[in-house]
Amino acid sequence: MFSKAKFFLSSSQFSHTQPIHTLLSSPLFKSLLPSSVRIVEVSPRDGLQAESTIVNTNDKIQFINLLSKCGFKTIEATSFVNPKAVPQMSDALEIMSNLPPNCDHISFPVLVPNIKGYINAKNANAKEVSIFTAGSDTFQKTNTNCTIDESFERFDPIFKAAKEDGIAVRGYISCALGCPYEGPVSPSRVVHLTEKLLEKGCYEVSIGDTIGVASPGTVFTLFDLLSKANIPSDKLAGHFHNTYGQALANILVALNFEIKIFDTSVCGIGGCPFAKGSTGNVATEDVLNLLHSLNIKHDIDIKKMMVAGEFIRSKLGRKETPLERALKIDHPYFKSFF
């Protein structure tokens, strides 16, 4: 299923001294890449939940409306969690009541930690929910006050109800490539958790580098093990944070395992409120730049996405992104985007 992927890091046909642009233009390299990628835009939920500035509800609604015009097929809308634990998401019901009209072609998943959250999401007319476990018990306890095994016990009634209600379930594995409390995470444990989530009813599982400590080597090791477990690549997503500037390199490795789904966040906003040292998600615009350079289709209108990014950046008091600066000075490279 992923057999060709091994060439990227191990083939003797790629010299260690070969210039990167020569490597990227190699027919062999390009034969390993998917022709298209689905971007899951997570900024309204995973992005805003960790920001110290709480964006008001009307601005969130406008932000989601702007994102809905960009070509995304999936936009994480909000989460039905304890508002005392995550006050940034306390307006979940209002958000779901004001989703953009005429957007049946877009999925707006919401995060739910337990059956109570699921019921609230269902009552808010959610068509898709996300559940989450972790690669380490310590992180899971810090995040949800339960162990990994206990998290699956909480999932059982959600899976049962979702099947009866016709609601799709997406799974997340947080800290799949490193934990802020326990350090390295066993790849075999992540494979086991992935298999378990899929068996119970998740239509796909997002593999999360929650604190951004993954490197191309550790990403290769994990996705190689996932491939050897015969887990279909179209059931997996990559969720990378850019704490140490490795996110794009890690995505490049995942692409070579035919991973076609990536979670990204406009302007790189977000992080994890329960993971000390976690910085923002990989920026959507940076990922689109990477995909553009590799001629991988993504269906995102980057001009409209930049408008959405500038809007939310202004609400958070963030500086302009490197891509925004480049576009302002009419950088010749980026003319090919439009």
Per residue in 242-296, pLDDT tens?
Answer: 988 899 999 999 999 999 999 999 999 986 655 555 567 999 999 998 999 899 9
- Specify if 237 maps to a domain: yes
Q: Please, which pLDDT band fits residue 7 given cuts at 50, 70 and 90? A: very low
Catalytic residue among 175, 202, 267, 272: 272
Domain count, the chain: 1
What percent of the chain lies above the pLDDT cut of 70? 83
Which residues, at least 6 apart from 314, have a Cβ–Cβ distance to it below 8 Å? none
Write the pLDDT tens digit of every residue in 53-66.
Answer: 899 999 999 999 99
Q: What is the mean pLDDT of the chain?
A: 87
The number of angstroms, rounded, from the C-alpha of 107 to the middle of its chain's C-alpha atoms is 14
Q: Is residue 103 flagged as an active site residue?
A: no
Domain of residue 124, CATH code: 3.20.20.70
What's the pTM? 0.88
Report the distance separating Cα 175 and Cα 190, nearest Å: 9
Q: Please, which pLDDT band fits residue 85 given cuts at 50, 70 and 90? A: confident
- Specify if 21 maps to a domain: no
- Residue 215: per-residue pLDDT: 93
- Specify if 258 maps to a domain: yes
- Check: CB of residue 49 under 8 Å from CB of residue 83: no
- Residue 274: per-residue pLDDT: 54
Is pLDDT above 60 for 5? no
- Specify if 4 maps to a domain: no
- Specify if 10 maps to a domain: no
- Specify if 259 maps to a domain: yes
Who wins on pLDDT, 33 or 170? 170
Write the pLDDT tens digit of every residue in 209-246.
Answer: 999 999 999 999 999 999 999 999 999 999 999 988 89
- Specify if 255 maps to a domain: yes
- Specify if 30 maps to a domain: no
Among the residue ranges 95-99, 268-272, 316-320, the one predicted with the least confidence is: 268-272
Q: 6-10 long-range contacts, Cβ below 8 Å, gap at least 24?
A: 6/224, 7/32, 7/256, 8/32, 8/253, 8/256, 9/216, 9/220, 9/253, 9/256
CA-based angle 68:74:80, to the nearest 5?
Answer: 100
Write the pLDDT tens digit of every residue in 160-219.
Answer: 999 999 999 999 999 999 998 899 999 999 999 999 999 999 999 999 999 999 999 999
CA-based angle 315:321:325, to the nearest 5?
Answer: 120
Q: Which domain holds residue 269?
A: 35-337
